[in-house]
Amino acid sequence: MKFLLVDDSRTMRNIWKKVITSMGDNETIDAGDGAEGLKVFLEQGPFDILLVDWNMPNMDGLTMIKKIREADKSTPIIMVTTEAEKPRIIEAIKAGVNNYLVKPFSPDALLSKIQETVKKTEAVS
Amino acid sequence: MPVTESKLFRIQISHDRLTATLSVNGDSLPPACTAGKIEAEIQPFKLFLNEEGRANIIAFAAKLAEHAMPQPMVIAQGDPPVHDENGQIELLYKTSQGDAATGEAQEDSPQSFYERSNIQRVRAGQPLLRLIPPREGQDGRDIFGKPIARKRGRQAQLSLGANVRLEDDVVYATANGKLEYSGERVSVSDVLEIAGNVDFSIGNIDFDGSVIVARNVLDLFKIRSHASVTVRGIIEAAEVQAEGDLTCQGGMTGKEKGLFIAGGTIETKYITNATVRAGKDVVVRMEVVNCDLICRGALRIESGLLVGGRTVATGGLRVRTLGSEACVNTPVEVGIDDNLRQTYLRVAPEIEQLRRKAEKVRQIVEPLLRNQKALNAEQKEKATELLYNSYDLEDRAEQKIEQLRSVQEESRQYCLEEVVVLGEVYPGVTFRFPRLEGIIESPLKGPIKFIPRKVEGVYQIVAVDCLSGSCFSIHSGPTSDTWLQAAEALLSGKS
Ligand SMILES: [Mg+2]
């Protein structure tokens, strides 16, 4: 599978990458903010799954997701963020997020979140 | 020289038909005549006259006009042929002394005399030789304007032997090995045969294929082979490493410096004062004296002696005489895999350290996780990182345990806890089995077998008489070297 990873923390992106590569022979491309993430999504897609942080410079994750959803309704997106309040989660889901993981999370939690999202997507298609 | 004559003139033609010389026919001066008349006179000879020839005829006629006898004059010249150059062979490899083609010395040429090898090693895919085709010359032309054929060039003669291929006039090696090139034949041999000793005339050997030495390997030389090494003579205080078997028909005289390593079996007549490592069995006909010997298979000296040094024979020991009447200290370990021991000794502290670090990180992150609501975004990011770190550290510790486990599983197929003495065993000999150790307190006669066995509920080393089947315990107890128990505890998750 091909993953797009968008987070302003390189360490966080590396953690994601390690978890994703432990799952199998997956490809990852990463971006350091929403603007870059959007550009990569449009230019280097299609992707099988997106992992997106909320709070980032230049363009935040929510704005990026809204822009992506204008053109693409189906690519699954997991928001991985420190934003844990219920209204924020609802806001994200309204914007088109498929799954939501609150930081701090364990590698196992991320792994099962990805697997759950993949399974749901497969069931739909 | 062929001569052609007219009434007045004679033409001498050189043997190669490249020069025609005009002179007066006879001794008497002919009547004066013009150059045109001379040309007409010699016209039947059909010479190919060029400007220079015509000028010479004019000069010749001028002499006659002066009533003087003209000197013979070259009036026609052909063009000699330019012969083809034969094809050549260009050397594309570098010799150990330098570039084979240019003769330039190699900059990083080895300093040590031991390193000066005359063996030309090549690797698969390496270009070795280039066939340069014959260079074409030009046909000549004789004084009659007829062509003179040039000599045609010959292709360079090269026959291809084993492990080489020709592509676009370049010969490539298709295997790693020793280049054998005689000027007419090229091949790459995966067996290196040394006709005499390995000495300064040969230098150290590092070879991909098998090495066969017809005589001896002298002090301080090194042989390394990715396959087997066979020495027909003796090996002295040298370093011989074979990834396969090491066979020495003479013996191995280590002189405290010899290092003999084989991935496979070592077979020889005797080994003295050397360090010996074998991935499989060590088979010695006469004796092993004062050696640090570790083999993953069995040590078999069925008609000889083992005394002194230190011996670890994972696959058991079978020997005629063990120790000596002089009670020389002869420790023998059997059924113990030194590879497993070394792996354990290496990874155990690493595992311990990784776990300690993981624990430390967990101690930091746990309070954060219990109190997530109070964390700001940055702290939440940090907590994720820490959590990941502790998982990662534990993962790495787990990987090392797995590494140890695979060595343990592999070692099970090698281990045999058994010493068989066919002749005599003397005091000074000590046995160490995986869980037991014991000593020989008085001389015993064979054939006798030493094995661990439960006697009245307690594990002991017992000596079994191979003829009568009777047995008795020797002085033994739990081993003082408890690494194996520690390794087993680590693998079973009890530590
Ligand atoms: Mg962020």
Whether A112 contacts chain B with CB within 8 A: no
Partners of B99 in the β-ladder: B94
Distance A10 CA to ligand 1 centre (A): 10
Chain-centroid distance, C-alpha B367: 60
**Facing A106 at nearest CB: one of B368, B373, B391:** B391
Task: Give the pLDDT confidence score for residue A79 in this predicted structure.
Answer: 93
Contact state of B385 with A82 under an 8 Å Cβ cutoff:
no
Task: Give the pLDDT confidence score for residue A125 in this predicted structure.
Answer: 63
How much is the average pLDDT of B184-195? 91
Task: Give the pLDDT confidence score for residue B186 in this predicted structure.
Answer: 94
Q: Which residue has the tokens 């000999």?
A: B429
pLDDT more than 70, % of chain A: 98
Task: Output phi, psi for B380, to 5 deg.
Answer: -65, -40
Task: Give the pLDDT confidence score for residue B495 in this predicted structure.
Answer: 67
| A41–chain B nearest CA distance, Å | 24
| A105–chain B nearest CA distance, Å | 6
Out of A21-30, B150-159, B304-313, the most confident range is: B304-313
Distance B378 CA to ligand 1 centre (A): 8
How much is the average pLDDT of B342-355? 94
Contact state of A103 with B381 under an 8 Å Cβ cutoff:
yes
Q: What is the CA radius of gyration of chain B?
A: 44
Does the pLDDT value for residue B439 go beyond 90? yes
Does the pLDDT value for residue A80 go beyond 60? yes
| B410–chain A nearest CA distance, Å | 27
Please tell me what DSSP assigns to residue B263. Answer: S
**Facing A55 at nearest CB: one of B365, B377, B384:** B377
- Segment among B284-288, B334-338, B371-375 with least mean pLDDT: B371-375
Using an 8 Å Cβ cutoff, are B43 and B11 in contact?
A: no
Does the pLDDT value for residue B293 go beyond 90? yes
Please state, rounded to an integer, the average pLDDT across all residues of chain B.
Answer: 90
Q: Which is more confidently placed, B70 or B236?
A: B236
Does the pLDDT value for residue B105 go beyond 60? no
List of E strands, B217-281: 222-225, 229-231, 239-242, 246-248, 252-262, 266-278
Task: Give the pLDDT confidence score for residue B103 in this predicted structure.
Answer: 44
CA dist., res. A7 & res. A17, Å (int): 12
Whether A104 contacts chain B with CB within 8 A: yes
Which residue, among A32, A46, A38, has the nearest Cα to A121 in the 3D structure? A46
Q: What is the CA radius of gyration of chain A?
A: 13
Using an 8 Å Cβ cutoff, are A111 and A101 in contact?
A: no
Task: Give the pLDDT confidence score for residue B182 in this predicted structure.
Answer: 87
Partners of B24 in the β-ladder: B9
Token pair for B226? 């990715």
Q: Please classify residue B363 by burial: count the beta carbons closer than 10 Å to its beta carbon, then call 0-12 exposed, 13-18 middle and 19+ buried.
A: exposed
Total residues found in chain A within this entry: 125
Q: Which is more confidently placed, B8 or B259?
A: B259
In B, minimum Cα distance to A105 occurs at B384
**Facing B380 at nearest CB: one of A11, A82, A106:** A82
- CB contacts under 8 A, A 37-56 vs B, are 55
Chain-centroid distance, C-alpha B431: 40
Task: Give the pLDDT confidence score for residue B96 in this predicted structure.
Answer: 56
Q: What is the pLDDT of residues B380-409, one digit of tens each?
A: 888 888 888 888 888 889 899 999 999 999
How much is the average pLDDT of B312-333? 97
Whether A88 contacts chain B with CB within 8 A: no
Q: Please classify residue B93 by burial: count the beta carbons closer than 10 Å to its beta carbon, then call 0-12 exposed, 13-18 middle and 19+ buried.
A: middle
**Facing A103 at nearest CB: one of B365, B373, B384:** B384
In A, minimum Cα distance to B392 occurs at A107
How much is the average pLDDT of A96-119? 87
Contact state of A84 with B372 under an 8 Å Cβ cutoff:
yes
- Segment among A30-44, A46-60, B83-97, B330-344 with least mean pLDDT: B83-97
Using an 8 Å Cβ cutoff, are B436 and B476 in contact?
A: yes
Token pair for B118? 């005359």
Neighbours of B251 (CB within 10 A): 20
Q: What is the pLDDT of residues B16-71, one digit of tens each?
A: 889 999 998 888 888 778 888 888 888 888 888 888 888 999 998 898 888 888 88
**Facing A104 at nearest CB: one of B369, B373, B392:** B369
Q: What angle do CA B284, B287, B291 make, to 5 degrees?
A: 95
CA dist., res. B485 & res. B434, Å (int): 9
Contact state of B372 with A104 under an 8 Å Cβ cutoff:
yes
Task: Give the pLDDT confidence score for residue B440 in this predicted structure.
Answer: 96
Task: Give the pLDDT confidence score for residue A104 in this predicted structure.
Answer: 83
Task: Convert chain A into a string of H (helix), E (strand) and C (coil).
Answer: CEEEEECCCHHHHHHHHHHHHHHCCCEEEEECCHHHHHHHHHHHCCCCEEEECCCCCCCCHHHHHHHHHHHCCCCCEEEEECCCCHHHHHHHHHHCCCEEEECCCCHHHHHHHHHHHHHHHHHHC
Which residue, among B119, B91, B121, B117, has the nearest Cα to B104 in the 3D structure? B91
pLDDT more than 70, % of chain B: 95
Token pair for B222? 């090194």
Which residue, among B170, B125, B134, has the nearest Cα to B155 in the 3D structure? B134
Token pair for B170? 């370049």
List of E strands, B6-161: 9-13, 19-24, 73-77, 88-91, 94-95, 98-99, 121-122, 127-132, 140-141, 147-148, 159-160
Task: Give the pLDDT confidence score for residue B372 in this predicted structure.
Answer: 78
Out of A15-24, B230-239, B386-395, the most confident range is: B230-239
Distance B381 CA to ligand 1 centre (A): 8
Residues in B touching A84 (Cβ below 8 Å): 372-373
